[in-house]
């Protein structure tokens, strides 16, 4: 049995057809856009903007967002073409199976655990911190040892575990119901982002934007183009999640049309909001104030005098984090669902609930798995693993488009990436460049994780694969 065997496109299309016991097509194009926004707007906007401004780009963090968005757009275009061709749950795993073979598909599927499952764990830890901050504002104080992992001086992070368990149960209840909850959360957090921009705009001090691009300090990643590029690497995390839309392809009403709209639409909307938000935030106060500030958005908004909105802002951040966790858990369960359907993982992971039409056993598995990381692993370790896993996935998807155009030039494509191979190559360059900006520790963790995955593939997946040579 070859490890390079490819799953035929016809078989993938056949698998995507709705069956009585399979996943249910219930998501409209609008719901897919909301799903993308739900995954994107979160920790990156409310926390990392200040870090990127203070440590690297100054007011030009606005340009850092643009640069990061351009890099994501290259990958997003590639995702959109694949999603319109192969409307199957599984995202980059499924696309790799159709282009580069089973072994590469396994690698990317295993890697996606770093993006989706650990992203959910990472954001749940931030969710816990902001819930504690909100409760303190109304004079409710939780025991600190129950708010932190052992490595951070605590015993367990209970709020983080609570939100993971709650949202996993929501996902078991149904995709349509989960989408409704996500839509409500998206409306709430986007509304507050717009309120921040509108109310803050009139309080911008133009002097805070001078110089807009600070002069580069030689030998550092502050100021000038080096600072903007380093800032882009930091705020890249703010765009993680738009690809999660592709994991819901098998539950979209019209995936050939809806998937490109969902992926690219959510990316465009969030980029516009990010640029305006960062422009206002750096205009309200000098960017140096954000040094070491965990809640820069609240710090900046305080100068507007609208103190009554501080609690609302925190609630919006909590809502933002909640929708991110929801979509990440959704994406992870659908990837394992597809891998199980192909025989690479036990059938346990592809068992669909008879009433709710969701992979409920997979949801329960990740309820436990993600809860362990959320409750016991420090957030800084989780964040680095998420970034490198995501960039690796983006790189393989860009490579996959080049391969697909060579192998299947006449296959039906409802959406086509322009200027192939140049756009995918640019996507590869940007993603690899951003990967090189991460620490060696992150690379070692990725390597160890992939070695574990390779062992599982050769001892189980390869032996149980349902795809013929």
Could you tell me which residue, 399 or 178, shows the higher pLDDT? 399
13, part of any domain = no
Does residue 9 lie in a domain region? no
Q: Look at residue 4 and tell me if it is in a domain.
A: no
Instruction: Please tell me the total count of domains within the chain.
Output: 1
Integer Cα distance of 428 and 399 in angstroms:
7
Task: Outline where DSSP puts E strands in 98-232.
Answer: none
CA distance 379 to 122: 6
Residue 178 has what pLDDT? 67
Residue 139 backbone zone (phi > 0: left; psi -120 to 50: alpha; other: beta): left
From residue 314, how far is each of 121, 127, 207, 286 by CA, in Å? 20, 10, 28, 22
d(CA 263, CA 63): 22
Closest to 84 in 3D by CA, of 39, 159, 121, 32? 32
Residue 60: the pLDDT is: 94
**Averaged pLDDT of the chain:** 82
Q: 117, 369 in Cβ contact below 8 A? A: yes
Highest mean pLDDT among 113-117, 159-163, 175-179, 288-292: 159-163
In a domain, 347, yes or no: yes
Q: For the segment 308-333, what is each residue's pLDDT rounded down to a tens digit?
A: 677 777 887 788 788 888 888 988 88
The predicted structure's pLDDT at residue 175:
63
180-198 tens-digit pLDDT: 777 787 788 788 888 889 9
For residue 168, is it within any domain? Answer: yes
Contact 91, 243 (CB under 8 A): yes
- Which is nearest to 249 in space by CA: 447, 437, 31, 54? 31
8 Å CB contact between 282 and 58: yes
pLDDT at 381: 62
Domain containing residue 384? 23-463
The pLDDT, as a whole number, for residue 383 is 63
Q: Is residue 8 part of a domain?
A: no
pLDDT at 103 over 80: yes
Is residue 5 a part of any domain in this protein? no
Distance CA 268, CA 411 (A): 27
**Residue 20 pLDDT greater than 50, yes or no:** no
Which residue did the predictor score with more confidence, 138 or 65?
Answer: 65
**CATH number of the domain within which 97 lies:** 1.20.1740.10
Residue 78 lies in a domain: yes
Q: Give the highest mean pLDDT range of 23-27, 147-151, 312-316.
A: 147-151
């Amino acid at each position: 049995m070859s490890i390079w065997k490819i799953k035929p496109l016809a078989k993938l299309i056949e698998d995507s057809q709705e069956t009585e016991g399979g996943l249910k097509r219930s998501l409209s194009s609008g719901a897919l856009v909301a799903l993308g926004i739900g995954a994107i707007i979160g920790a990156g906007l409310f926390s990392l903007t200040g870090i990127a401004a203070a440590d690297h780009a100054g007011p030009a963090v606005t340009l850092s967002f643009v640069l990061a968005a351009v890099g994501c757009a290259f990958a997003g275009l590639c995702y959109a073409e694949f999603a319109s061709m192969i409307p199957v749950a599984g995202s980059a795993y499924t696309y790799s199976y159709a282009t580069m073979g089973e072994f590469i598909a396994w690698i990317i599927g295993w890697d996606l655990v770093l993006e989706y499952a650990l992203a959910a764990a990472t954001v749940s830890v931030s969710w816990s911190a902001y819930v504690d901050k909100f409760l303190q504002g109304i004079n409710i104080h939780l025991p600190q040892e129950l708010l932190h992992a052992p490595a951070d001086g605590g015993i367990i992070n209970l709020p983080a575990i609570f939100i993971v368990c709650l949202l996993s149960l929501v996902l078991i209840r149904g995709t349509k119901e989960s989408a409704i909850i996500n839509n409500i959360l998206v409306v709430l957090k986007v509304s507050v982002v717009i309120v921040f921009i509108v109310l803050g705009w009139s309080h911008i001090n133009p002097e805070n934007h001078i110089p807009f691009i600070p002069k580069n300090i030689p030998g550092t990643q502050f100021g000038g183009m080096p600072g903007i590029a380093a800032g882009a690497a930091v705020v890249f995390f703010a765009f993680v999640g738009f690809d999660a839309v592709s994991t819901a392809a098998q539950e979209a009403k019209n995936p050939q049309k809806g998937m490109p709209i969902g992926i690219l639409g959510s990316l465009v909307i969030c980029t516009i909001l990010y640029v305006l938000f960062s422009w206002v935030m750096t205009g309200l106060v000098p960017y140096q104030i954000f040094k070491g500030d965990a809640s820069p958005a609240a710090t900046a908004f305080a100068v507007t005098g609208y103190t009554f909105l501080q609690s609302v802002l925190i609630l919006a951040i909590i809502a933002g984090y909640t929708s991110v966790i929801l979509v990440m858990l959704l994406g992870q369960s659908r990837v394992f669902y597809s891998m199980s359907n192909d025989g690479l993982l036990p059938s346990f992971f592809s068992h669909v609930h008879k009433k709710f039409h969701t992979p409920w056993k997979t949801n329960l598995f990740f309820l436990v798995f993600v809860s362990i990381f959320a409750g016991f692993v420090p957030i800084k370790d989780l964040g680095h693993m998420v970034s490198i896993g995501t960039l690796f996935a983006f790189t393989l998807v860009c490579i996959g488009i080049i391969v697909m155009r060579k192998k299947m030039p006449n296959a039906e494509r409802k959406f086509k990436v322009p200027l192939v191979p140049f756009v995918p190559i640019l996507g590869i360059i940007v993603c690899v460049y951003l990967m090189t900006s991460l620490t060696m520790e992150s690379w070692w963790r990725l390597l160890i994780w992939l070695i574990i995955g390779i062992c599982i593939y050769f001892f189980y997946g390869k032996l149980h694969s349902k795809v013929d040579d």
